[in-house]
Structure 1
Amino acid sequence: MLTRAGKDPTQDVWHSEAIISDTLQRGPEMAAASSDGRWRFSRWRNFVGSYTLPGLPDPMFVIHLGGKPSVRTWDRDGWSETTSFPGAATIVPATMPTRWLVDGELDVITFSINRHDLQAASVFEQFAKMRFAFSDPLGAALARQILSELYKPSSDGRDVYVAALIDALKAHMMRGPSSAAPADVPTSSFSSYRIHNVLSAINKAPEAEHSLEDLSAIAGITPSHFCRVFKQAVGISPHQYVLKARLERAEQMLNQSNVSIAFIADSLGFTSQSHFNRAFRNHFGDAPTSFRKRAGGH
């Protein structure tokens, strides 16, 4: 059933999604919940900044659907070196305060299960510690399918199908994260972890050539197969992602330095300043010069 964020009518506490809404000062784009409050499924998009969440009443399963792979969590005395990525999952334990840094557009699903159900199933200990940004293609696939069904008109058939998918996602969450280390991820087929390696390589050095052959070699698959799975996972082609990474780096340089636009264009691998100007205007809706002035740049 669709629901708004708010106080749980079955408990004298605010549920996890209501706490998140209060922190973000906005509700989820889409939310569904069981009538008895035993699970909640919500989609959140396009929030940027640093956030501190108090301990949530129930464990939460978070699926990173899309957006920039630059989400970090606070780890002891600083932001984590690891970043989340499309297709990754995170387990947030109940009652554990957390901090998050979102540096760009983001699209995530949160799925929480009533802690009493987990205790009854004797799996609550699996959620005693946080596990951040592990590859979970099945969890991501289930979340995407549930979401696509929720945007369709309600019907008996759709509701039965959504309930079955929710049960599958719930069972997947209760099973717990795989113990496989990154090195154990198979290299003969697609995985979100290997796409994450490609995204990291592009974001680390957007000015590099990043040929299709080089990127597919990082992923360990053929160029033609790589193009298909990359677009399926990220939503745009490898070439478009490289261009996007270069333009986002250019945006930073325009805001944070007084180097010339010609230097920015050349240092980021554009064939000419006019090529850079066109690409920047198409992406941001403004020319680099006017963008810098409007932003109060150097």
Structure 2
Amino acid sequence: MVTNEALRVNLAGEDGLSIYPNKALLSNNSTDWGGLYLQYHRQPPPEMLENFCPQHRLIVHDRTSRSPIVETFEGLNQLYPMSQGTVRVLPANARTQAYWQTEHQFIVLAFEPELLAQHMAQTTDVSDVELLPIINLCDPLIHSMGLALKAELESGGIGGRLYVDAMTTALMAHLLRHYSAHKYSLSPIVSGLPRHTLRQVVDYIHEHLDQDLTLATLAAIARMSQSYFSRLFKQSTKLSPHQYVIQCRVDRAKQLLRQGEFSIAEIAYSLGFTHQSHLSHHFKRLTGSSPKAFLNK
């Protein structure tokens, strides 16, 4: 739930510009694109307030920068490089805040949630859907669509609205296929994740044990809402996603301890634990002995 501490910005109006130090270089605020909004920004390092928006937002990076972005999404901090073609998908009303250290140019594509729902109703039998949060994803198609819509706004060619409508339809279809999840109504007959989905998530966990494996990240891989994914994952593994990640980290720590090439502190850091005592706590809880005692067995 959004709190009063976050700034509400509405990209359908001028107040959407207030989260950045400078006004947008380009905007379609005076042009009717049927619920789709485009802004093109060149912004210095900002003092950006935490904010939320009633529209879905796609932040499209159109050039590479040597300075990374620090993104705070729903209270979680993430650091990632700014590369040409990378995209941030920010669902409506999600709280976010970002900071960068050098001047940055980017496209903001925003649209009303009803626009996605309308396209969904025309193409599927699903009654409801939610857009998944995706950070630092390389998506050449969204990147090219953002550039094409920017060029259309700059040129204002013949048949502009028809062109924008066609691009909007293609964008909504792409988002529905790749970055959305059904809002399922759980039933008692559900018996877990599909085998290929479970394997995909488990492989990702094992390959990224050193990173912050959030529920949002894992649910996005499975293309499900967080609550639905968490329920099915536990049915499949008998563990919650967080418990499974901790178990995998402890199992990997046991392997590394046996190899004897790294200190306990180095192992803890390499496996995403905040400090050595964090590893020791979970190691003893799951194995019955501390890492040091495990080495002396």
TM-score range, shorter chain: 0.3 to 0.5
* Bigger CA radius of gyration: 2
User: What TM-score, normalized to structure 2?
Assistant: 0.48
User: What TM-score, normalized to structure 1?
Assistant: 0.48
